Amino acid sequence: MGQTITQKIFHSHLVDKPFDEVSVLRLDRVFCHEITTPVAITDLVRKNKDRVFDPDKIKAVIDHVSPAKDSKTARQGKIMREWAGRHGITDFFDIGRNGVCHALFPEKGFVRPGFTIIMGDSHTCTHGAFGAFAAGVGTTDLEVGILKGVCAFKDPGTIKVTIEGSLEPGVFAKDVILSVIRELTVNGATNQVLEFEGETVDRMTMEERMTLCNMAVEAGATCGICKPDMTTVNYLWEFIKEDFSSREAALDSFARFLPDPDADYSRTLHFDAGSVEPMVTHGYKPDNVIPVSSMQGRKVDQVYIGSCTNGRIEDLRVAAAILKNRTVSDSLRAIVSPATTWVYNQALKEGILQTFMDAGFCVTNPTCGACLGMSNGVLAEGEVAAATTNRNFNGRMGKGGMVHLMSPATAAATAVTGVICNSELFSNKRSIS
């Protein structure tokens, strides 16, 4: 029997098999942010184990509340900063050089096909877009990862998600993943990896693949994973060109992680990209997904464009194209939070930030902020948000608030009209006057 990508990565990183169903893996990367890491650091110090397994394999950032909003968040940043300093963790991204972890770390070239990665953050599954096994863990697993460079996993199964056909104009990776989650439900992929493949995925950019993999956890999945190909190599080339004689040689090397044709999948799902419409969530579960056309006209109080799902440059370009020469509806306020310092700067250079500002958007610095109700756009009780984020849980963006998840295009169109609506990009349906 052949192997999936995940099985190949597990076999190449296996340190121990303490029990039949459990694999202890060697880690290539441990990513850290200031919400879940300080507790691990404090605990290691208290246990007299304030060590790191390899400072070069640990990458750290302050992103969830940036800049600090109060003494408590300032203290979390301070713990991170001092810890990175005393252990020689040189890839520490402080305020001014930072960004939302799952946008920043790929941008810095820290992810490779075949890598094993953990982070104390459930959306770590994003990095599977590069053909890596990347999983969110709790603080205890993170602590052991920092200390020993290993993590234990129950051997996951793999669900193959094949997506074929062409997306209609105005339909994006976000709409695809929302459709996949609707089909799988919020626990349909628990203890499974979602292996995304098919011609639609092959044609996607790395940013689109990251959007796809980012929300795998909303179906319960351990990781979302895409097959490494020339798109992956091209994205990474500036970081790997010293390691390979050519792009083809890099691709050849990464091919050892490709799934075998006779690999064993626990389930196979097929999606016709051509039939996917722009989608939006309702209620408080990310599998409550309906076409935007079914929720057309729903009034919102705040539009939020950003997050590890949809705060990258391609997302901002799409939104800006819709916002150009238009203004945000008087009935709402709108916020854009470019995911990283680079995205911010690039958007500035391309005139995208000017477009957002001319439209009446508040442009914030890169941070996770409002996505989890931390800062920079928390909702009041009873308010409704149209957001490009990944979770619509009750209270997620502020106690008593409701979040509708959607693509940047839908969010931008909604900002202009004041109500949830399809963007003009979708099948040329002119829903904006």
What residues line the site for another protein (CB under 8 A)? Answer: 15-16, 18-19, 21-22, 24, 35-36, 38-39, 43, 47, 49, 64-65, 70, 72-73, 75-76, 120-122, 124, 136-141, 143-144, 147-148, 150, 152, 154, 186-187, 190-191, 220, 222, 285, 372-374, 391, 393-396, 399
The one-character DSSP state at 309 is: H
Shortest CB 261 distance to another protein, Å? 28
Shortest CB 146 distance to another protein, Å? 11
Shortest CB 165 distance to another protein, Å? 30
- Residue 2 or residue 138: which is nearer to another protein going by CB? 138
Report d(CA 243, CA 223) in Å as an integer: 27
Q: Are strands 150-154 and 22-26 parallel, antiparallel or unpaired?
A: antiparallel
- Residue 149 or residue 228: which is nearer to another protein going by CB? 149
- Residue 41 or residue 173: which is nearer to another protein going by CB? 41
Shortest CB 223 distance to another protein, Å? 10
- Residue 44 or residue 250: which is nearer to another protein going by CB? 44
- Residue 150 or residue 412: which is nearer to another protein going by CB? 150
Residue 373 region, left (φ>0) first, then alpha (ψ -120 to 50), else beta? left
Shortest CB 286 distance to another protein, Å? 9
Report d(CA 393, CA 391) in Å as an integer: 6
List C-alpha distances in Å: 129 to 91, 267, 275, 408. Answer: 21, 20, 23, 20
Shortest CB 140 distance to another protein, Å? 4
List of residues 6+ apart from 332 with CB closer than 8 A? 300, 301, 302, 303, 415, 418
- Residue 22 or residue 357: which is nearer to another protein going by CB? 22
State the DSSP string of 4-60.
Answer: -HHHHHHHHHEEEEEETTEEEEE-SEEEEETTTHHHHHHHHHHTT----S-TTTEEE
- Residue 35 or residue 89: which is nearer to another protein going by CB? 35
Tokens encoding 265: 């999948």
Q: Are strands 384-387 and 302-306 parallel, antiparallel or unpaired?
A: parallel
Report d(CA 95, CA 33) in Å as an integer: 12
Three-state DSSP at 214 gives helix
Shortest CB 164 distance to another protein, Å? 29
